[in-house]
Amino acid sequence: MKQSINIIISGGGTGGHIYPAIAIANEIKLRYPEANILFVGAKDKMEMEKVPQAGYQIEGLWISGIQRKLTLKNLMFPFKLLSSLWKAHRIIRKFKPDVAIGTGGFASGPTLMVANKKGIPTLIQEQNSYPGITNKLLGKKTQKICVAYDNLERFFPEDKIIKTGNPVRQDLLFIHTKIEEGKEFFELDASKKTILVLGGSLGARKINQLVEANLEFFKKQNVQLIWQCGKLYFEEYKKYDELENVQVHQFLNRMDLAYAAADFIVSRAGASSVSELCIVGKPTIFIPSPNVAEDHQTKNAKSIADKHGAIVVKENEIETFPVVLETLLKDKGKQESLSENINELALPNATSNIVNEIEKLIS
């Protein structure tokens, strides 16, 4: 296959769409150092900052989603869509991609629509167990659909689906060898169990409130906390960093070491987090966010819990959390079975498998 290939990757809005897109780009660059890769994102979203940080060029479209109620933003939507289709058309005409890849999010809609219309091969990567509206629409015309969960033929043509898993950080593949390093990095007491609390990069209000309300409970259980409270909440919760056996972080730069150091994990259930936690293989309690499109976090978490790989505590039942955690802390057998079962669902070669499918489309 020719080395100087042109590839457009479009996806964003949240880390769950951006990081898989960057992982795919990195794998393509490994195989084809001469490849030209261009990202297309939504103008005011986090991809406009994260993609250049990862070393790639990005073009922004004036696009956003439809709100559930009648707002000024909704009235603007047809204009934004037309503007984005026109700009995507210009980008594609100039860049001449050999293939266009969508990882979900608003910008991937117009970009892949135009690519499909121009006869350019397209591939979408669906991270969730319940697809968003953009990918559902694109699924009709795209050539290949890489998924991470079973039973997605309810939404997509069955002959296009390839189960690859979600791209994850490659540094997670060997975290079992980093346990000592992780404990040293976070200056943990090796005689105590460690609970890692994750609310996503921005943070999760309900999870932070839960931790704050149960600090005395954690102390009684004689555990230590690595509490990632997120960018939006750091100012509010950083005061608890002074407590013994509690460390509060806005963001965790060494996720691999945080996972390695943890004995138990409490987390949201975004698609990327779920895929990472399958590889990490630690006893996990999911507290899915109910405030996301199609309630897909609950569906992601349930798909793991149905295979006895995790425990799910819903936000509207969050007061049961201390009992659930205390029971788990005392039950060694349950800890081991959760670890084994979640680890069996891991798909560690996802990025490589997705790029294999992209190669087939180009050649």
Binding-site positions for UDP-N-acetyl-alpha-D-glucosamine read 14-16, 128, 169, 201, 297
Residue type, 167: P
Do the strands 122-126 and 99-102 form a parallel or antiparallel pair, or are they unpaired? parallel
**330 token code pair:** 């005392």
CA distances from 40 to 107, 135, 250, 343 (A): 7, 16, 28, 34
**What's the sign of the alpha-carbon dihedral 236, 238, 243, 246?**
positive
- Termini Cα distance of the chain: 6
Q: Which residues lie below 8 Å from residue 55, measured CB to CB, with a gap of 6+?
A: none
Contact 353, 123 (CB under 8 A): no
Task: Please enumerate, by residue number, every residue annotated as part of a binding site.
Answer: 14-16, 128, 169, 201, 297
How would you write the chain as a 3-class SS string?
CCCCCEEEEECCCCHHHHHHHHHHHHHHHHHCCCCEEEEEEECCCCHHHHHHHCCCEEEEECCCCCCCCCCHHHHHHHHHHHHHHHHHHHHHHHHCCCEEEECCCCCHHHHHHHHHHCCCCEEEEECCCCCCHHHHHHCCCCCEEEECCCCHHHCCCHHHEEECCCCCCHHHCCHHHCHHHHHHHCCCCCCCEEEEEECCCCCCHHHHHHHHHCHHHHHHCCEEEEEECCCCCHHHHHHHHHCCCEEEECCCCCHHHHHHHCCEEEECCCHHHHHHHHHHCCCEEECCCCCCHHHHHHHHHHHHHCCCCCEECCHHHHHHHHHHHHHHHHCHHHHHHHHHHHHHCCCCCHHHHHHHHHHHHHC
